[in-house]
Structure 1
Amino acid sequence: MERIEANGISISFKRSGEGPPLVLLHGAEADHAMFDAFAARLAPHFTVIAYDQRDSGATRNPAGRCGLGELADDLSALIAALGFERAHVFGTSFGGAIAQVAAVRHSARIDRLVLASTFRVGVSVASINPDGFPRFAELRAKLPESLPAFAEYFFPPSYIASQPQALGIFTGNKRDAGQRERRGAVLAQPIAISLADIKAPTLVLAGREDRLIPPAHTLSLAREIAAARTAVIDGVGHVGTIQDPAAVAGQVIAFLKSKTPKDIVEENDHGGIQGGSGLSL
């Protein structure tokens, strides 16, 4: 692990690989370690930065409450502090909400954007999943006794049965009471953005078996983002980067290395490749 000071906090992060920078934003219950297997698949192609957000992992920050805006500012400051002008950004679940805000507030820092198994900023998570979320909240309040049922919102039961060590994402959480309270209050802080203001080429990615954030809701984000692409991974639940890191990495690598309409225009302007890209947008 490395550490760097940015935006008034001490950010802990893990760096691997080489190539264009790609920053990974973890979910609400996790820290950078949720990306260990995923980052290993990406490292042959990118300089991968997996960092701990405020009140997560080994990052150290003031005890005051913050919202998605401050977390997006942290991301932008981290990219700059690491010496990069801009970076690709992958955000999953809660991390995807941070990434949406960063792509609007700090567009100059975002190269390409991947939003995975996430929800639209400004929409109540309870309203997204009105049938499942009350039960999810009830189980969360009863952890660790409720862990087996709680985990099924993140992973299909068959995966939990074959890979029980995956539950370490929940049992390994070392947040104290203050950190848990502040993390739980982030989404209550008011913020409004227009996804139409996202200019970065964007991939919206969902697991077909996601019980926490319905895939249809995640994919609906693409309708508000110009020329966004979508992909669905069969058999995968909410935490695809752990359940099937190879499949998620395959989608991410293909997207980040593909040509976009903007690339084609720039190549044409410089006397490069002529004609259409052949991409499905």
Structure 2
Amino acid sequence: MERIEANGISISFKRSGEGPPLLLLHGAEADHAMFDAFAAQLAPHFTVIAYDQRDSGATRNPATPYGLGRLADDLAALIAGLGLSHAHVFGTSFGGAVAQVAAVRHPARIDRLVLASTFRVGVSVASINPEGFPRFADLRAKLPESLSAFAEYFFPPSYIASHPQALGIFSANKRDAGQRERRGAVLAQPIAISLADIKAPTLVLAGRDDRLIPPAHTLSLAREIAGARTAVIDGVGHVGTIQDPAAVAAQVIAFLNGRKTEHIAEENDHDGIRGGSGHSL
């Protein structure tokens, strides 16, 4: 792990590979380690920077509240602190929300953008999944006793059965009460952005079996981002970078290298998902 002082905090990150820089933004429950297998797939093509956000992993920050804007500023400051003018950015789930804000607030810092299994900034997560989210929140409050059921919102049950070690992403969480409180309050802080202001070439990526953020919602972000492309990975849940890192990496590598991604979803009337260019959703 390396460390850099940026935007008033001490950011811990893991660097691997060589080539154009690519920064990875983890989800709300995780830290940089969720990308270990994914980064290994990307490293032959990019210099991969997987970093810990505020109150995550080994990053150190003041015990004061913050919102998505401050987290987006951290990303821009990290890029600059690494001596880079700009970089590719991949954000998943909560990290995808941070990436959206960064792309609007710091457009010169973002080269190409990938938003994976994420939700639109400014929309209540509970409203996105009104049937599943109340149970998800209840299970979250009962951790670690509810771990197995909670994890099914992130991975298909069949994957958990064959990969019980995947539960470590939740059981290994070492945040103290203050850190959990600050992270949990981020989305309640008001922020308004227009996705139409995102100028970076963008890929919006979803797992078809995502139980936490409905893939149709994730893919709908592309409607508001000029020229955005969409892709769906079959058989993958919310955390595709762990469940099938090779499949997610294949989509990301092709897009960041300017090639057409191979498994763009075709129209699927049965689930309301369409893929291709942003306006086809």
Cα deviation, 1:197-243, whole Å, max 9, x if unaligned, reads 00000000000000000000000000000000000000000000000
**Matched ranges for 1:178-217 at <5 A:** 178-217=178-217
Distance 1:55 1:204 in 2: 27
2-side partners of 1:30 and 1:11: how far apart? 15
- 1:170: which partner in 2? 170
Q: Structure 1: how far apart are the matches of 2:254 and 2:111?
A: 15
Residue 82 of structure 1 corresponds to: 82
Matched, 1:33 2:33: yes
**Pairs within 5 Å for 1:118-157:** 118-157=118-157
Partner of 2:267: none
1:212-231 mapped onto 2 (5 Å cutoff): 212-231=212-231
CA–CA separation in structure 1 for the residues paired with 2:11 and 2:22: 16
Matching of residue 68 in structure 1 with residue 68 in structure 2: yes
Aligned counterparts of 2:11 and 2:253: Cα–Cα separation in 1: 26
- Aligned partners of 1:131 and 1:236: how far apart in 2? 20
Give a deviation string over 1:110-142, Cα, whole Å, max 9, x none: 000000000000000000000000000000000
Unaligned stretches of 5+ in structure 2?
261-275
Counterpart AA for 1:69 = G
Q: Please give the secondary structure, in 2, of the residue aligned with 1:39.
A: helix
Question: SS of 2:165's equivalent?
Answer: helix
> Are 1:252 and 2:256 matched, yes or no?
no
| Offset of residue 27 of structure 1 | 0.0
In 1, Cα distance between equivalents of 2:174 and 2:126:
26
Give, as a single letter, the amino acid of the residue that structure 2 aligns with 1:127: S
How far off is 1:155 after superposition?
0.1
Which residue identity is paired with 1:166? Answer: A
Equivalent residue number for residue 42 of structure 1: 42
Q: Any stretches of 5+ residues in structure 1 without a counterpart?
A: 261-279
Question: 1:156-192 CA distances to partner (integer Å, 9 max, x unpaired)?
Answer: 0000000000000000000000000000000011100
Q: How many Å apart are 1:85 and its aligned residue?
A: 0.3
Q: 1:259 Cα shift? A: 5.5
Q: What is the alpha-carbon distance in structure 2 between the residues aligned to residue 55 and residue 166 of structure 1?
A: 22
In structure 2, C-alpha distance between the alignment counterparts of 1:122 and 1:64, rounded to whole Å? 22
Counterparts of 1:253 and 1:122 in 2: how far apart (Å)? 29
* Cα 1:209–1:259 shift into 2, 3 Å: closer
Larger Rg: 1
2:4 maps to 1:4 = yes
The equivalent residue for 2:266 is none
Identify the residue that residue 263 of structure 2 maps to in structure 1: none
How many residue pairs match? The answer is: 262
For the pair 1:101 / 2:113, whether they are aligned, the reply is no
Aligned AA for 1:163? H
What secondary structure sits across from 2:78 in the alignment? helix
Provide the C-alpha distance between the structure 1 equivalents of 2:123 and 2:102, rounded to a whole number of angstroms. Answer: 17
- Scaled by the length of structure 1, the TM-score of the pair is 0.92
2:232 and 2:57 map into 1 onto residues whose CA distance is 30
Cα drift, residue 258 of structure 1: 1.3
Separation in 2, partners of 1:247, 1:19: 20
Q: Distance in 1 between matches of 2:84 and 2:253?
A: 20
Matched letter for residue 16 of structure 2: S
CA-CA distance at 1:28 after TM superposition = 0.0
Amino acid at match of 1:242: I
